[in-house]
Structure 1
C-alpha cells in the first residue's frame, strides 16, 4: 500500500483519486535474521493449524486518514486494513513473488494482457457473506466509479474500460468479468507483468455490499475477510481493536488473540509508554532516541532496513520551483550524511537514487545532484534566481522537526535564503493539504513500496495523473519509459526502469534524502525473536508472540 505512514504517503490526484501505500522490501539488521519471518508471505507459519490463545498485543499507531481499503493510501490505515482484509494475492517477502490469497492460482496469455485467476471456495467476510468472483467485480466497479471519489482509483487504469468509467461513458469495467463463481478474468489495455503483485495492494481488497451502501459508517467498523475482525468501532485518536478471526481459511492465522492499536499524536509519548511497559511495541523510534535505544531497552530493540524513501518534494505548480536548476541547487546544498550522523545517529542511508537499494535494479549514487557541493549550489541558485523566502511543510508528531530544521539551516547558510518558516499538521490533515494543492514550498514526504517492484517505486508518484504525484510532475519521456518497462520481460525491464529513474534524477521533482532504517522497541511481554518488519515498514503484528505472565 500505499502505502506509507507519517514518513510517507500515497494518493491519486484530486478527483481521480503516494503514500500510498501502501509496499517493498527489507532486510533486518541488529538481530541476525533477515527480517522476513518464517512463513511464505513474511508471517509466522504454523502450517495451517488453528491458532489457540495468543494473548493481547498493544501497538503504537498514528491516526489513520481513513479505513476504507479503496481510499487508504498511507501506512497508518493500511497496516490495520491488511489484518482486516485479504486480497486476491499476497506477497512472499523472501522471494519477492506474489503468492495465493483468495486466489489459489493464476495465468496469463503470452503478452500478459489477459489474466485468469481461480479463487478458493471457502472465503467469507467476517459477517458470513460469501466471497466469490462477482464480489471482486462489484468491488472494483464501485472503486472506479467517479461518484465515489476513491483515492486508489488510478491503480485500475491498466484495466480495459477504466477511462470509459471515469469519464462517465460506462458504468462498469469492461476488463473485469466473473466467468463463473470462482473464476475472475482481467483484460488489460496494455501488457502489465506486475499485475499479480499489484493485486496484493490495499486498494484491491474485496468489500461486502454494506461498504457500498454506507461507506462512512462502514469505515468506522470495516467488515473484512482477513486474519482479524473489528471489535467495536474505530475510536478516533484513541485506539483500533481487533480480534483474531477463527474461521479465516488461510494457512497462517494470526498468533495474538487480540491486537489493540493505540493511537498517538506524539511519537515521544509512545516511546516512553513502551519504556514504562504500558504499551507493548512501537515500530517508529523517534530519531532523537536512536542513540539511546539500546541503553533504554537492552535486548528489546531492533533496527530494520526498509524501502522507506524520505524526500523533500517541490510543488512544481508553484512558479518559483519550475526551474530545475533551483531544484538542483537545493539538493546540492544539503549535507545528508551530516544530518544522518548528528540527528539519526547514523541510522539512515543517504539517498542517491529513487529505486530502493534492496531491489535488484537499484544503483548506488545514480544522482548527479545529490552530492553535497555548497559552492556549486550557491552559484546555481543565484543564476536561477531562486526564492529568498521559503515555507517548509512537514507532518507533526513523527520526529521530523530536527532534521527538517537542519535542512533549512543548511539552505540558509549555503544559499543565502533570508527567511524560512515552517508549517506542520497532523498526518491526516497534512495529506488533505496536499490533496488540495495548498502546499507552497518544499515538503517532507516519503514512499514505501506496497509491493517489491521498481514500477511501484516510480509510477504512482511521478507519472502524469497517477497516484501520489504531489509535486505535479509531468514528463512524456518518463511516462513512455514506464509503460515500456511494464510491458517488458522481467530480465529486460530493469534497465528500462533505470532509464526512467535517470529522468527523475535529472528533472528532480523531489530531492532524495535518505532510505530509512527503522527502530522497533518492545516491552518484556513480547518475545524478541517474533518481532519482524517487512520492507513496507509494516510490523508483522500478526505473528507477535506474547510471553506468558
Structure 2
C-alpha cells in the first residue's frame, strides 16, 4: 500500500504489485458498546469528525495509499474482512469458502448484499470488477494484486477480456483458480483492490470517484469535497452482522497536521490518528486520558543496492547495521514514537519472534572490526524521499557510521517520492536508501514476498536467493498454519542473515480525541487504520 501522508504515513513506500504490536485491538466488527465512559452515548450513534489527508484516489482498484483506502474501507465490503481480534479472515460478502489444494477455491456468497443504490451483488459482480481492474486500458494501480489468478497475464496484456481463473459458477458461487498454491488468499481478498463495484462505476469512472457507490457500512453523503471533507452516513441496509456505530462520519482534510492537533484541542475536531513526533511529548499534558498510543506494522528500513559492488559482501551490511544505535535515534529525534526493529515479520503477528536479528544489536566495536575486514566503502551516498521528515534521522545514522566505522564522507540524495521510486526502478541507487512498508493484510507472506522474492517490482535491493524463494512458495502452499508459520520464519532467518535491508523500527501512532469520544472505543488496526466505524460518541 503506497502511502503519502506527509508526516508519518507519507513515509511508507510500497508497490501496487505487492500494496504491525497492538496495545489494544478490535475485530472488523464490534458493536461499540464496550465503553465505560461516564457520558451517555449519543442517540442514534451521533457524528464523528476525524482527521484525514487528501486521498490520491477513491476508486478501489486504484487506491494504494492509506488516506483514500481508509475511506473506501467504510464505503465497501470485500469478499472477506479481517477479524483484528484473531488476525484471521472472516466473512464479508462471502459467507464461507473452501479449498483442497490452495489452488482452486470456492466462495459461497450471501444473497442479501446490495450496493448503496440497490443493485444486487452476485458472483458475476466480482468477475466483472476484477477483470476491469486488471484490464490494461484502465491502468489501475492495484491490478498486480490479481496476478495470482489464472489468466491474469492475458487480460493485463490485452490478449483476453476475462481471467480464466475467476469464474461465476452461479449467482452466489465464485470459483477462483490460481497459478500456484496460495494459502493467504482469503486474507488477501480483504484488501481494497478486491472490493466489488457496481455497473455505474464502469459507465463513468471519473464521476463515480467523486461519490463512490459501495456496499459497505457507510454511504456517501454528497460528493468528495476536495481538500476539505468527505462525509458519509450509516447504511442501514448493510448485510453484515456488525454495522457502524456512528450515524455519520466526517473526514476533515487537513494540509497541516499541527493545525489538526490544535483543532482537536479546541473541540473543532473529534479525533486524529497520527500525532507527529514533535507533539508526542505534549499528548498527556494536552489531553490527559483522551489520548492513546498504538503499535503498528509500519516498518522503516535502510536498504542496499546489491547490484553495486560496495554492498555485495554481507559483512559490510552486517557492520552498517550493528553501528546504528536505534534506540538513541528514536529517543532523541523521534520522541519515542518508534520501536526498534529486530525482525522483519511485524511484532504483532503470531509468527513474529523477539530479537530474531543477530546483527540488529548495537555493537560499535564489533561493527568497526567487521567493516574493516570486509573492506567497507569509505564514501557513502544515502538516499531518501524528500518532504516526509527523513532528513534529521538519516543524518544521525550517517554520523554514527562516521563515528563508529570510520566512514570518511557521506553525501545525501533526496527526491520527491515519484522521482525517488524512478531511481529505484532504473537501478540508479548507489548507496544505502530509506524505504518502508506497511501490511495491507496481516500475514507474514505480505511482510516478505513482495519486497524480497526474486523479480518482484518492490524488490529494490535486487535481492535474489533461491532457498528464500522456495521457502516462501512452500509456506504459501502449506495446508496447515503451523507448518506455514515455521516456513515463513525460516525465510525470515535468511533475510536477517543476508541482510538485503537493515531493519530500523516499527512506528507507534499517537491518537488524540475530544471528550465527546469514549476512549474505550478508540482502536487502531495493524495497518494504521483507526477503527472510526466503532467509535462511541457522547451526546452533545
What CA deviation, in whole Å up to 9, does each residue of 1:446-492 have, x standing for no partner? 32222222112111222234464344433333222111111112121
> Are residue 183 (structure 1) and residue 163 (structure 2) matched?
no
For residues 90 and 230 of structure 1, do their structure 2 counterparts lie closer, same or farther at Cα, with a shift above 3 Å needed? same
User: Hey, what does 2:12 align to over in structure 1?
Assistant: 8
User: Hey, what does 2:134 align to over in structure 1?
Assistant: 144
User: Hey, what does 2:248 align to over in structure 1?
Assistant: 258
SS of 2:286's partner is helix
User: Hey, what does 1:335 align to over in structure 2?
Assistant: 325
> Are residue 43 (structure 1) and residue 30 (structure 2) matched?
yes
CA distance in 2, matches of 1:429, 1:82: 29
Per-residue deviation, 1:103: 0.9
1:494 to 466, 477, 485: 485
For residues 508 and 257 of structure 1, do their structure 2 counterparts lie closer, same or farther at Cα, with a shift above 3 Å needed? same
Structure 1 alignment gaps of length 5 or more:
29-33
Q: Which moved more, 1:207-216 or 1:484-493?
A: 207-216
User: Hey, what does 1:523 align to over in structure 2?
Assistant: 514
Per-residue deviation, 1:139: 1.1
2:293 to 303, 327, 351: 303
Per-residue deviation, 1:336: 0.5
Per-residue deviation, 1:417: 4.5
CA distance in 1, matches of 2:241, 2:418: 34
CA distance in 1, matches of 2:419, 2:239: 37
What CA deviation, in whole Å up to 9, does each residue of 1:232-259 have, x standing for no partner? 3333433332222232222222222222
Question: What TM-score comes out, normalization by structure 2 length?
Answer: 0.88
Per-residue deviation, 1:174: 0.8
| Contact 2:31–2:534 (8 Å) recurs in 1 | yes
1:285 to 246, 251, 275: 275
| Contact 2:398–2:410 (8 Å) recurs in 1 | no
CA distance in 1, matches of 2:2, 2:80: 16
> Are residue 27 (structure 1) and residue 22 (structure 2) matched?
yes
> Are residue 54 (structure 1) and residue 58 (structure 2) matched?
no
Structure 2 alignment gaps of length 5 or more:
35-41
Q: Which moved more, 1:182-191 or 1:416-425?
A: 416-425
> Are residue 79 (structure 1) and residue 65 (structure 2) matched?
no
Alignment of 1:96-107 (within 5 A): 96-107=87-98
Per-residue deviation, 1:379: 4.8
Alignment of 1:393-542 (within 5 A): 393-394=384-385, 396-397=387-388, 400-415=390-405, 416-421=407-412, 423=414, 425=416, 441-466=431-456, 468-488=458-478, 489-542=480-533
SS of 1:70's partner is coil
Per-residue deviation, 1:268: 2.8
User: Hey, what does 1:200 align to over in structure 2?
Assistant: 190
CA distance in 2, matches of 1:83, 1:345: 32
For residues 252 and 429 of structure 1, do their structure 2 counterparts lie closer, same or farther at Cα, with a shift above 3 Å needed? farther
Per-residue deviation, 1:92: 1.0
Per-residue deviation, 1:294: 0.9
SS of 2:44's partner is coil
| Contact 1:82–1:202 (8 Å) recurs in 2 | yes
User: Hey, what does 1:31 align to over in structure 2?
Assistant: none
Per-residue deviation, 1:540: 0.4
User: Hey, what does 1:66 align to over in structure 2?
Assistant: 57
For residues 199 and 128 of structure 1, do their structure 2 counterparts lie closer, same or farther at Cα, with a shift above 3 Å needed? same
CA distance in 1, matches of 2:307, 2:227: 33
CA distance in 1, matches of 2:53, 2:456: 26
User: Hey, what does 1:370 align to over in structure 2?
Assistant: 360
CA distance in 2, matches of 1:70, 1:465: 23
CA distance in 2, matches of 1:371, 1:205: 42
What CA deviation, in whole Å up to 9, does each residue of 1:154-196 have, x standing for no partner? 3222222223333444332111110111111112222222211
CA distance in 1, matches of 2:459, 2:250: 33
1:230 to 220, 234, 238: 220
CA distance in 1, matches of 2:396, 2:496: 23
What CA deviation, in whole Å up to 9, does each residue of 1:277-308 have, x standing for no partner? 22221111212222221111101001112222
For residues 449 and 344 of structure 1, do their structure 2 counterparts lie closer, same or farther at Cα, with a shift above 3 Å needed? same
For residues 499 and 401 of structure 1, do their structure 2 counterparts lie closer, same or farther at Cα, with a shift above 3 Å needed? same
Q: Which moved more, 1:235-244 or 1:434-443?
A: 434-443
SS of 2:111's partner is coil
| Contact 2:48–2:248 (8 Å) recurs in 1 | yes
2:284 to 269, 290, 294: 294
| Contact 1:126–1:224 (8 Å) recurs in 2 | yes
Q: How many residues are treated as equivalent by the alignment?
A: 526
| Contact 2:2–2:12 (8 Å) recurs in 1 | no
> Are residue 159 (structure 1) and residue 154 (structure 2) matched?
no
> Are residue 132 (structure 1) and residue 132 (structure 2) matched?
no
For residues 405 and 70 of structure 1, do their structure 2 counterparts lie closer, same or farther at Cα, with a shift above 3 Å needed? same
For residues 362 and 254 of structure 1, do their structure 2 counterparts lie closer, same or farther at Cα, with a shift above 3 Å needed? same
| Contact 2:329–2:396 (8 Å) recurs in 1 | yes
CA distance in 2, matches of 1:543, 1:211: 28
